[in-house]
């Protein structure tokens, strides 16, 4: 019940994040702003996540877990409801910022709660189940929300997200363990001191570097599939579904592998991902091979997620929630950088094909960090940090 209720909230929050892309022209036309100006709604949400990750988590470090989860979800409901009724562009920007402000902290609490309650050897699979909510939000919730927006009006898209998250609120409150334990059971200062640990910083760095390349490719999947592979523009939604199908399968497979050999599986998956991205330079120009490539990239991109998140949780033994929240914020920064870098790569070349080798190089940098962590574990006796960090044990 706990995982299903948390997954439902993750599904709603992810839908709310990505549905904006599908309704941007509608929002722009309705509010009388340009499409690029409407695109700043995406930026406002991302800035909210970047700021909210460390700030909201530190400020709520002493709030009981159940009350905190209820509060975070309630803020998400109100922010999305406000987005649905916002009278103007500026107020809508505020609504999207507020909606993003609580997401990183919620993800962090959800992940550490799931890890803390999972059976020994099942922590990464618990993370994988939560991540499925993100997968479904991208490949199912976003297109459905876009259809609602086109049929009824863009405000209905945000309203639907608010209703969905509101429905999940009582389920989450009932399922999250009570007992009054603080977020991490430590002071904010002690939590921040956890980042003096090089292992924590390395785990976060691995997540950022290991994902930024494939995020860049995904961000520009439309020109890669139309301009390079030769697909018609109408095929892009279908290809996104193919990517999503690979993501769901890879997510569960990655969780299973990580529970058996955490860092060896993460390093191995990053190595394969780097090779596949590099192969895109050669395979990306044919429709058949490009279609296969999209599925494989989706699978590999999400196969590394459970292991990476589990490593962050287990590295920050005294402050896992804060570490995962900062990790989520860092990922948003990386995603923003990926979009900027991808644009520069395309501007510098003849087509989008050049994204593939650049993405492969970035992933290889993440692999180097993963290998360093793996060697560190081996020097420490072959053991990764315990899958039950001190603060999580008190859930």
Helices (H), 119-261: 123-136, 142-152, 154-175, 188-193, 198-219, 221-223, 236-260
Q: What is the pLDDT of residue 161?
A: 94
Q: What is the pLDDT of residue 182?
A: 45
Domain's final residue, options 136, 157, 183: 183
Torsion of CA 22, 169, 131, 107, to 10 degrees: 100
- Are 39 and 93 part of one and the same domain? yes
Q: What sign has the CA pseudo-torsion 344, 350, 355, 361?
A: negative
Residue 288: partners with Cβ closer than 8 Å, 6 or more residues away? none
What residue has token string 């402000």? 101
- Are 75 and 153 part of one and the same domain? yes
Domain residues for the domain of 35 are 2-183
* Binned average pLDDT, 10 residues per bin, the chain of 395 residues: 84 87 82 82 86 85 85 95 94 94 88 78 82 81 83 92 93 76 53 70 90 86 87 81 88 91 95 96 93 94 90 78 81 79 80 91 95 90 55 45
- Are 87 and 208 part of one and the same domain? no
* φ, ψ for residue 385, nearest 5 deg: -55, 150
Q: What is the pLDDT of residue 385?
A: 62
Domain's final residue, options 162, 183, 204: 183
Taking the C-alpha atoms of residue 30 and residue 41, their distance in angstroms, rounded to an integer, is 14
- Are 206 and 163 part of one and the same domain? no
How many of the other CB atoms lie within 10 Å of CB of 62? 13
Q: Could you please report the per-residue DSSP string of 220-271? A: THHHIIIIIS---GGGHHHHHHHHHHHHHHHHHHHHHHHHH-HHHHHHHHHH
Whether the full predicted model's pTM is greater than 0.85, yes or no, is no
CATH code where residue 313 lies: 1.20.1250.20
- Are 128 and 197 part of one and the same domain? no
Q: Which two tokens stand for residue 72?
A: 């975070």
- Are 286 and 241 part of one and the same domain? yes
CB distance 65 to 177 below 8 Å: yes
- Identify the burial level of 182 via C-beta atoms within 10 angstroms of its C-beta, where 0-12 means exposed, 13-18 middle and 19 or more buried: middle
- Are 199 and 264 part of one and the same domain? yes
- Are 57 and 89 part of one and the same domain? yes
- Are 158 and 205 part of one and the same domain? no
Number of domains, the chain: 2
Taking the C-alpha atoms of residue 126 and residue 116, their distance in angstroms, rounded to an integer, is 10
Domain's final residue, options 183, 199, 231: 183
- Are 177 and 216 part of one and the same domain? no
- Are 166 and 301 part of one and the same domain? no
Q: Which two tokens stand for residue 370?
A: 């993963």
Nearest to 13, CA basis, from 107, 125, 112: 107
Furthest CA-CA distance within the chain: 62
Residue 276: partners with Cβ closer than 8 Å, 6 or more residues away? 293, 296, 297, 300
- Are 173 and 32 part of one and the same domain? yes
């Amino acid at each position: 019940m706990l995982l299903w209720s948390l997954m439902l909230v993750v599904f709603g929050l992810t839908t709310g994040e990505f549905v904006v892309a599908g309704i941007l022209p509608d929002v722009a036309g309705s509010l009388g702003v340009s499409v690029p100006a409407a695109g700043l709604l995406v930026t406002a949400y991302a800035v909210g996540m970047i700021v909210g990750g460390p700030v909201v988590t530190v400020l709520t470090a002493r709030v009981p877990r159940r009350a905190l989860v209820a509060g975070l979800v309630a803020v998400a409901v109100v922010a999305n409801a406000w987005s649905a009724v916002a009278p103007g562009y500026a107020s809508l920007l505020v609504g999207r910022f507020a909606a993003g402000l609580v997401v990183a902290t919620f993800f962090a609490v959800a992940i550490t709660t799931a890890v803390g309650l999972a059976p020994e050897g099942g922590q990464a699979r618990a993370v994988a189940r939560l991540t499925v909510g993100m997968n479904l939000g991208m490949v199912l919730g976003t297109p459905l929300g876009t259809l609602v927006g086109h049929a009824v009006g863009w405000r209905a898209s945000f309203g639907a997200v608010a209703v969905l998250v509101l429905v999940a609120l009582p389920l989450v409150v009932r399922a999250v363990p009570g007992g009054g334990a603080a977020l991490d059971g430590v002071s904010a200062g002690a939590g921040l001191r956890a980042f003096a640990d090089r292992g924590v910083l390395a785990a976060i760095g691995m997540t950022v570097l290991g994902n930024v390349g494939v995020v860049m490719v995904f961000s520009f999947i439309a020109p890669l599939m139309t301009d390079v592979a030769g697909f018609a523009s109408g095929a892009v939604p279908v290809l996104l579904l193919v990517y999503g199908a690979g993501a769901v399968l890879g997510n569960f497979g990655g969780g299973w592998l990580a529970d058996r050999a955490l860092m060896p599986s993460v390093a191995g998956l990053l190595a394969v991902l780097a090779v596949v991205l590099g192969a895109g330079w050669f395979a990306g120009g044919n429709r058949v091979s490009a279609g296969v490539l999209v599925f494989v990239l989706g699978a590999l991109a999400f196969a590394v997620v459970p292991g990476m998140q589990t490593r962050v949780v287990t590295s920050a033994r005294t402050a896992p929630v804060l570490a995962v929240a900062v990790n989520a914020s860092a990922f948003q920064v990386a995603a923003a950088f990926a979009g900027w870098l991808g644009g520069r790569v395309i501007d510098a070349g003849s087509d989008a094909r050049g994204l593939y080798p650049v993405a492969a190089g970035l992933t290889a940098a993440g692999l180097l960090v993963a290998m360093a962590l793996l060697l560190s574990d081996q020097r420490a006796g072959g053991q990764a940090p315990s899958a039950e960090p001190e603060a999580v044990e008190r859930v």
